Amino acid sequence: MSQNLCQTFLAITRNSTDLEWLQGALAPLGQVVSAEGGSLDELLALVDVTLASLVFVGLDREHVVAQSTLIEGALEAKPMLAIVALGDGMDNQLVLNAMRAGARDFVAYGSRSSEVAGLVRRLSKRLPPVAPNTHLGGLTVLYGVQTNADGALLATHMAQVVQKSGQHTLLLDLGLPRGDSLALLGLESSFHFGDALRHLRRLDATLIDSAFTCSEAGMRILAYASNDELLEHTSAAELYMLLSALRQHFQHIVVNLTGQPDSEALRTFVSHCDKLLWYTDQNVLDCRRNLAVLNLWREKGMKLDHARLLVDRYLRNVAPDSDTLGKSFGMEVIATLAYSPEVRLNAKNQGITLFELAPREGLTQSLRTLGECLAKRYEGLAKPKVGWFNRLRGAQ
């Protein structure tokens, strides 16, 4: 995953309130991901994909034996893992059970954020450094609060440019309205985002080659179907597993999240992408809605140093201009995209790309430049592993 956050922590808690307390306490240090399944196999799998070295495990009197066994099993499989128990600080028996099982420390629910963060900092200094996985592909996210087809239009074109640069690329279209990327390219799909979540353990090169929709340029598309569960109901743990699997097979993933409401799932994408393109236009009402989300995330301690502002439908003679928007959002403006309403409408209605329809149009040129910028950022990354099926097919 990206190094935008210092660390990723895993937690098994009693309820969502306890998880939110822990997330708030550790927001300046990293993201806390719920290992809500609670089974040893799922916990160990999440440790592998998140590269987490510290796990919080909640204890209670009713389930203390099973919870202690989980701690022992995790440490037996991962001896370098640090486990911190959570529970009622007044219950000495829980503290004893936690220490006997191998927990490094015990934190009482409701402790002050400074105390929890201080403990984690001390433990982290004694843990071995985690080497990032250089075999994972790049991850770019396009996000803004606006719900319209233009988010899919821009993401589709940027992803196509990256694909044409020679990088095996996936467009993960989770924007609202759903599935617009497929319609814009005149494509259909029988395999969607929800299917990928249901087949996490089978997500290999064979399934990708046979099930993922492919554009003429060779770009793969995984879109959000109308009957897929809402993104906010998808757990961060599931997303970690999915993204880890996909990033092993693609050199670059472009994710369209425009229009999605705030949720833990959305924050997982935003926090762990390599580059965040914050999508807005000059409409003051939309800017206010975007800033409301942005300021909330900053208040919660989310690190957004990797974010850049993308201003769409830009009119030079209309206020606020790009400099003002950049200052308001506290971000560098990566590009301004021309309004070009006729070209956009024709591309949407005819189901062909801007590269075919209007290759010399300013909007088209800007999207090409933006896509090339994304491609250059990742061209030095190691290629994802080639599965046995692709090796066999290439030898024929």
**Averaged pLDDT for residues 332-353:** 96
Q: What are the angstrom distances between the C-alpha of 394 and each of 85, 388, 390?
A: 50, 10, 6
Which CATH number characterizes residue 95's domain?
A: 3.40.50.2300
CATH label of the domain that carries residue 176: 3.40.50.300
Q: Indicate if 184 and 111 belong to the same structural domain.
A: no
Whether residue 228 sits in one domain with residue 330: yes
Does residue 277 lie within any of the structural domains? yes
Q: What is the mean pLDDT of residues 329-351?
A: 96
Is residue 394 scored above 50 in pLDDT?
no
**103 and 245: one domain?**
no
Domain match, 47 and 166 both: no
Beta pairing partners, 70: none
At residue 152, the pLDDT reads 97
Determine the pLDDT at residue 18: 92
Domain membership of residue 1 (yes or no) is no
For residue 220, pLDDT over 70 is answered with yes
How confident is the prediction for the chain on average, in pLDDT?
A: 91
Q: Which whole number is the average pLDDT over 54-83?
A: 95
pLDDT greater than 90 at residue 257 = yes
Among candidate residues 45, 377, 74, the one with its CA nearest the CA of residue 200: 45
Same domain membership, residue 161 and residue 106: no
Quick check: is 391 in a domain?
A: no
Residues 337 and 306 in one domain: yes
In a domain, 131, yes or no: no
Q: What is the pLDDT of residue 6?
A: 56
* 31 vs 105, residue with greater confidence: 105
Q: Is the pLDDT of residue 378 over 90?
A: no
pLDDT given at position 3: 43
pLDDT category at 27 given cuts 50, 70, 90 is: confident
Which pLDDT does position 36 carry in this prediction? 78
3-state secondary structure the chain: CCCCCCEEEEEECCCHHHHHHHHHHHCCCEEEEECCCCCHHHHHHHHHHHCCCEEEEECCHHHHHHHHHHHHHHHHHCCCCEEEEEECCCCHHHHHHHHHHCCCEEEECCCCHHHHHHHHHHHHHHCCCCCCCCCCCEEEEEECCCCCCHHHHHHHHHHHHHHHCCCCEEEEECCCCCCHHHHHCCCCCCCCHHHHHHCHHHCCHHHHHHHCEECCCCCEEEECCCCCCCHHHCCHHHHHHHHHHHHCCCCEEEEECCCCCCCHHHHHHHHHCCEEEEEECCCHHHHHHHHHHHHHHHHCCCCCCCEEEEEEEECCCCCCCHHHHHHHHCCCEEEEEECCHHHHHHHHHHCCCHHHHCCCCHHHHHHHHHHHHHHHHHCCCCCCCCCHHHHHHHHC
pTM: 0.87
**Tally of CB atoms within 10 A around 179:** 23
pLDDT category at 390 given cuts 50, 70, 90 is: very low
User: Contact, 353 vs 158, CB < 8 A?
Assistant: no
Q: Is the domain of 192 the same as that of 43?
A: no
Q: What pLDDT digit, counting tens, does each position of 146-184 carry?
A: 999 999 999 999 999 999 999 999 999 999 999 999 999
- pLDDT band at 94; cut points 50, 70, 90: very high
Q: Are residues 56 and 167 in the same domain?
A: no
Say whether pLDDT at 5 is over 50: no
Q: How far apart are CA 355 and CA 352, in angstroms?
A: 8
Q: Does residue 273 share a domain with residue 316?
A: yes
95 and 201 in one domain?
Answer: no
Domain annotation covers residue 292: yes
Any domain includes 202: yes
Instruction: Give the list of residues 6+ apart from residue 324 with CB closer than 8 angstroms, or none.
Output: none
**CA 209 → CA 52, 133, 212, 393, distances in Å?**
31, 24, 6, 11
pLDDT band at 96 (very low <50, low <70, confident <90, very high): very high
Residue 388 pLDDT greater than 50, yes or no: no
- Tell which of 93, 126, 159 closes a domain: 126
227-241 residue pLDDT tens: 999 999 999 889 999
Sheet holding 7-12, edge to edge: 30-34, 7-12, 54-58, 82-87, 105-108
Q: Are residues 189 and 240 in the same domain?
A: yes
- Residue at 384 is within a domain: no
Residue 326 region, left (φ>0) first, then alpha (ψ -120 to 50), else beta? Answer: alpha
Confidence of residue 396 (pLDDT cuts 50, 70, 90): very low
102 and 19, same structural domain? Answer: yes
Report, as an integer, the average pLDDT of 277-306.
95
Residue 288's domain comprises 138-378
| Residue recorded with tokens 């916990």 | 43
Residue 259 within a domain: yes
Number of domains making up the chain: 2
